[in-house]
């Protein structure tokens, strides 16, 4: 089970459940690999619905790596994500939100 207090989000890829988490190292790797802007820009793209599939993939890879996965983005190019692209986008947005959620905002149901 994913632990929201740790910022974990579950995603099923090729029939296997993975726990994703944006650790500080995963966030640094994510920011370094962004095609455009910073993490703040990425958050704004998700808040406004202006994110790209590249943003979704980058977040999933960073989250998987933060959860201990040793793969690369190329390993996911042919992967089957349970729920399809919409589930991947939802999981990415949730992952990003949980990475910056404080215990106070979690208690408020944010």
Domain residue limits, the chain = 7-100
Q: What is the pLDDT of residues 60-85, one digit of tens each?
A: 999 999 999 999 999 999 999 999 99
Name the H helices within 3-102: 24-33, 39-48, 53-66, 84-99
Assign 108 a pLDDT band (cuts: 50, 70, 90).
low
Measure the CA–CA gap between 37 and 34, rounded to whole angstroms. 7
| Axis crossing angle, helix 53-66 with helix 24-33, rounded to the nearest 10 | 150
CB 71 within 8 A of CB 64: yes
| Conformation bin of residue 109: beta by default, left when phi > 0, alpha when psi is -120 to 50 | left
110: pLDDT strictly greater than 60: no
Structure tokens at 10: 């579950």
Residue 29, number of CB atoms within 10 A of its CB: 16
């Amino acid at each position: 089970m994913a632990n929201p207090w740790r910022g974990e989000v579950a995603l099923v890829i090729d029939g296997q459940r993975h726990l994703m988490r944006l650790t500080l190292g995963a966030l640094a790797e994510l920011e370094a690999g962004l095609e455009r802007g910073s993490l703040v820009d990425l958050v704004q793209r998700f808040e406004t619905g202006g994110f790209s599939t590249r943003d979704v993939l980058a977040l999933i890879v960073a989250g998987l790596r933060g959860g201990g996965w040793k793969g690369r983005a190329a390993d996911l190019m042919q992967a089957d994500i349970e729920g399809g692209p919409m589930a991947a986008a939802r999981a990415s947005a949730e992952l990003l939100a949980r990475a910056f959620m404080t215990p106070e905002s979690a208690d408020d149901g944010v």
